[in-house]
Chain A
């Protein structure tokens, strides 16, 4: 069985600061990381492989050449093969154009490998764009069944069984392969997360092998079927009109009386005077 995990290299949004003078994002010096939700998807694939070592895990990443770093990381964690989908003409793609390019890459890889991907796993969303759209859009273009908000997955014969997060609990869904599943953060306590980090830590041996692994580029030249009118900035139906840094609260009122009880009373009178409570 073959599983493809789609990953993205993202800026670590927890490290992004705002320049107080220009009121713009400071991207310089912000580390690039494997999108955390994609790490959950990779771990879900690794657990299926734990149960059946014959499973083959491929990872694919669309991005600039330096995005190869996250592919090396995925190889070290659990993947068997990795591919970088990269071409200048892919730049500026919105979610629909991105999912179209990825769908072409999937078809190309299936053709060159001579085998279908039974499962495609994605992170629920990337922490930079936060759209959660590429997974379902890719599933639609490929005509595959989709399950979103997955917490974990296992195989039941020819079907994938997914624990899915829904309002008010968890739903267990089953879908026949081929299917596409997106993953969110599994519910773990801190103790569980320390004992079983998601994704798992790579072994030294896997780390060494990953560094030496060959990671083929998949460019527009390989994707001969691609329709150039559906990619890049021009092929994207949505356009960014402008971006701005949201107004920070400057008029926030600080309350710090000598006695906590007095602070609480002051807060209450301010809130009730402003008719907030």
Chain B
């Protein structure tokens, strides 16, 4: 099988309300790079229900073409409906490469589809490039972030990868220019084999967007208890940051699971990550490998977090952090 076009497709995952998840728009940045190097168009694929907001978002962030699959069956994610839609549309257009955000849903969908098409898939990439033959170099961490691997998919199309949220920044806004193509693909209800019985919202999870966060202030075991997160929250509020946590703090029951950063929580890529009272277990460090700048505050000078920190403060977080917060407030007043 050969690709029909040199185009790059970016999957724009939608929320139930028809808006785009951040990661899809972010992926238009590496999508443009690959499209330029491969000499094709940048195509955004929007699957959802009444997804005008997502379509508009892709259009104002540089997509050359937008393919839309719209229907009530796509309002809430299901493996079966999305896998059918994505497989059909990819088989029809056969682009060279496809980028999918490595969200829970993206990582549920991508392997189902790549297996159905019988092509390769690279998971949770943190860097992308194109080699001299026009193949995508997919770079991803393995062994808990101890090793990076560059992976290729030379003989199958399309080449597909899931890409870690937060690693790439959204492109600059531009004037809309995209051709919008509607694809009429529908999945009957009886072909959706999972039924949603109940959705339990985690009240502690509201407004916790770790994947989209520019700054994250995180607390670990050194925070000492649920009240200890007060100084973390104060600093986060001063910076307009999102509050994160290590697994130790979450397992201790001090903060909701929605805040967890690391291998069993969210993998993140903020501009600035401030780790307070976090020792830096490999599972945690693996989750912050996309961060541009890491600050560590820890009273143990030998804590492994200092090995990955750009700025390391040896000291008690309860003495250091409130002063930092005050300085930030003064500067921004």
A residues with CB within 8 A of B = 11, 13-14, 16, 18, 25, 94-96, 99, 127-137, 139-141, 145-149, 161, 165-176, 179, 184-185, 187-191, 193, 236-246, 248-249, 251-256, 260-261, 263-265, 267-268, 270-272, 274, 276-277
Contacts and interface: CB of A to CB of B under 8 A. Distances in A.
A25 B198 CA distance: 45
A236 to B, nearest CB: 7
A131 to B, nearest CB: 4
Majority SS at the chain A contact face: mixed
Interface in B300-333: 301, 306-316, 319-324, 327-328, 331
Interface of B: 79-80, 83, 103-104, 107-108, 110-112, 114-116, 118-124, 137, 141-156, 193-202, 205-206, 208, 215, 239, 251-253, 257-258, 263-264, 271-272, 281-283, 286, 289, 293-295, 301, 306-316, 319-324, 327-328, 331
B313 A263 contact: yes
B324 A173 contact: no
B15 to A, nearest CB: 9
A172 B196 contact: yes
Nearest to A126: B142
A94 B152 CA distance: 12
A4 B164 CA distance: 31
Given A256-B314, A265-B323, A130 B301 contact: no
A170 B115 CA distance: 27
Nearest to A147: B194
Contacts of B251: 188-190, 193
Given A137-B115, A189-B251, A246 B148 contact: yes
A168 B207 CA distance: 9
Contact of B107 (A96, A129, A132, A161): A132
Please list the 3 inter-chain residue pairs (A to B) with the smallest Cβ-Cβ separation, ordered nearest first.
A237-B120, A260-B319, A264-B323
Nearest to A248: B307
B257 A243 contact: no
Nearest to A163: B200
Contact of A254 (B110, B124, B215, B314): B314
15 contacts: A16-B143, A131-B124, A137-B112, A139-B112, A165-B257, A166-B104, A169-B201, A172-B198, A179-B193, A191-B253, A243-B149, A264-B319, A264-B320, A267-B313, A268-B331
A248 B324 contact: no
A128 B324 contact: no
A25 B144 CA distance: 12
Contacts of A268: 324, 327-328, 331
Given A141-B115, A176-B193, A256-B314, A243 B198 contact: no
Given A94-B120, A261-B319, A25 B196 contact: no
A13 B104 contact: no
B209 to A, nearest CB: 9
Contact of B200 (A128, A171, A244): A171
Contacts of B295: 267, 271
Contacts of A272: 331
A100 to B, nearest CB: 9
Contacts of B199: 166, 169-172
Nearest to A261: B323
A202 B137 CA distance: 45
A167 B146 CA distance: 27
A186 B115 CA distance: 28
A174 B199 CA distance: 12
B320 A267 contact: yes
A169 to B, nearest CB: 4
A245 B289 CA distance: 13
A74 B79 CA distance: 30
Q: Which of A189, A254, A267 has the most CB of B within 10 A?
A: A267
A132 to B, nearest CB: 5
A237 B150 contact: no
Nearest to B157: A237
Give the residue among B111, B283, B314 with the most A Cβ atoms within 10 A. B111
Contacts of B107: 132-133, 148
Given A128-B142, A189-B253, A264-B321, A249 B309 contact: yes
Contact of B151 (A172, A241, A254): A241
Nearest to A187: B257
